Amino acid sequence: VTIKPFEWKNRQLFILDQTKLPHESHYELCPGLTDVFNAIKTLKVRGAPLIGIVAAYGILVALLEKNGKRAGEMKKIITEAGKFLISARPTAVNLEWAVRRMMEKAKSLDKALTSDRFFLEMEKEAVAVLREDLAMSGRIGKFGSALIKNRMSILTHCNAGGLATSGLGTALSPVYHAKEQGKKVTVYADETRPLLQGARLTCYELLQAGIKTVLICDSMAGTVIKQGKVDMVIVGADRIAANGDTANKIGTFPVAVLAYRFKVPFYVAAPASTFDLTTKEGKDIPIEERDPSEVRMFAGIKTAPENVDVFNPAFDVTDHELITAFITDRGIIKPPFKVNLARYLK
């Protein structure tokens, strides 16, 4: 997969506007901090690891925009920009993780550094965040692909592929690796209402990679699983609590219930930056609620009465009992999750 969800070129941040995919591949310049914030908020860039990485570069954008002259001044700019970026979306812990990492780096730098040197050090940290994510998604692919046998069918929800990370993704990375190993795989992609990340993004990137893909409406997952068409489910995650409860795109939880009912293994693929041991369990995970217009209309076309009440949570929580295992960059983690996740994150 060669799609680049963003680019950092000559100290400028360009993001691939994912709201325009699959029809248009348009890179947009984010000249200021507010542009980076808006790109994250409006889902031009989305997917838990990717919003973290882009926010790390967003810190660099803020430094250039606000043009701090001394290290002390630059540290202040970073703290303020960081808080602002974290407030763009509450559920994916990767956003906060990456921004906090940039803040820690800034804190550790010598106050006597020139502004140029200070910037270069911060840029190095953003590159490190990017490179580590790239490596993690590669390892997730390696471990996850061992679970996939020739001719297996995998169901996924939302987009946890290359468009959601810096590399091959989380949930889709094992699929890409399996294909590389010569295995024939089929992916059932839930369309993912209301914003259709499954239909628009997952299908787009899987087809580009030459992987057999079958698009289904979310409401069809029950039938497809009951008919025995699915060998395993692999999804990504936005935040995983200490007991294994997992927040991911709205509609993931019902798929987990279905998989449990029909004894289909349900895997969650995620890098270390998605695990949040400070959150004890699922009910403590903040769930983003988005604008009602996303449900009342699609692509500018009204699909419901204008004044109907709407409930639009962007994520749901899958109880850990429904999860077979986590596919991580350090291997497959099986229950009991409380003990094993703590060990993994040590």
User: Backbone phi, then psi, for 227, in 5-degree steps?
Assistant: -75, 0
- Of 7-15, 47-55, 259-267, 300-308, the segment contacting ligand MRU by CB under 6 A is 47-55
> Which of 21, 85, 92, 285 is the binder for ligand MRU (CB under 6 A)?
92
Count CB-CB contacts under 10 A for residue 241: 25
Name 243's bridge partners. Answer: none
> Which of 145, 153, 166, 170 is the binder for ligand MRU (CB under 6 A)?
170
Question: Which of residues 15 and 160 has its CB atom nearest to ligand MRU in the complex?
Answer: 160
Answer yes or no: are the C-beta atoms of 133 and 49 closer than 8 Å.
yes
Q: How far is residue 73's CA from residue 123's CA, in Å, rounded to a whole number?
A: 17
Q: How far is residue 326's CA from residue 77's CA, in Å, rounded to a whole number?
A: 37
In the set 190, 238, 276, 329, the catalytic residue is 238
Q: How far is residue 17's CA from residue 46's CA, in Å, rounded to a whole number?
A: 10
- Residue 238 annotated to the active site: yes
| Residue whose C-alpha is closest to residue 140's, from 105, 106, 168, 108 | 168
Residue 166 touching ligand MRU (CB under 6 A) = no
Minimum Å distance from CB 250 to ligand MRU? 8
Residue 90 touching ligand MRU (CB under 6 A) = no
Q: How many Å from the N-terminal Cα to the C-terminal Cα in the chain? A: 32
Residue 186 touching ligand MRU (CB under 6 A) = no
> Which of 88, 132, 153, 165 is the binder for ligand MRU (CB under 6 A)?
165
Residues numbered 190-229 forming contacts with ligand MRU, rule: CB under 6 A: 197
Positions touching ligand MRU (CB under 6 A) are: 43, 46-49, 92, 158, 160, 164-165, 169-170, 197, 236-238, 248-249, 314
Kindly list the catalytic residues.
238
